[in-house]
Amino acid sequence: MANTNVLAGWACPKCGQTEGFRIAGTIWLDVTDDGTVPSDEPGRTDHEWDGDSTTECPGCGYVGRQAEFHEDLELEQTIAALKEAPRNVNSETGRRVRGYL
């Protein structure tokens, strides 16, 4: 059955499994001389990750950017990058310069 919540649209790009993934996210840590623990300070207990976060498939061991595991997200990021890229258009003709995206 397809995922409909957090993992909606996710799949391993190598083996196709959709059950779960492992992400190297960012969290706040409280550090003392004894070591580190996840912070329980209000406002510092959340964790973050994005399309560039390292993601692992526990099924086959494939590791890549999180966006690779979510086809729509990868496409959205590519489109956003293209929109931000300088337009390679001849200012006189308005036509796209060959050899560029």
Binding site for Zn ion (CB under 5 A): 12, 14-15, 57, 59-60, 62
Pick between residue 60 and residue 81 the one whose CB is nearest to Zn ion.
60
**Residue 32 token pair:** 């003392």
Nearer to Zn ion, 39 or 53 (CB): 53
Instruction: Report the nearest approach of Zn ion to the CB of residue 67 (Å).
Output: 15
The two tokens of residue 43 are: 């406002």
- Report helix, strand or coil for 43: coil
CA distance linking residue 53 with residue 68, whole number of Å: 10
Nearer to Zn ion by Cβ, of 17 and 39: the residue is 17
Residues shown for the chain: 101
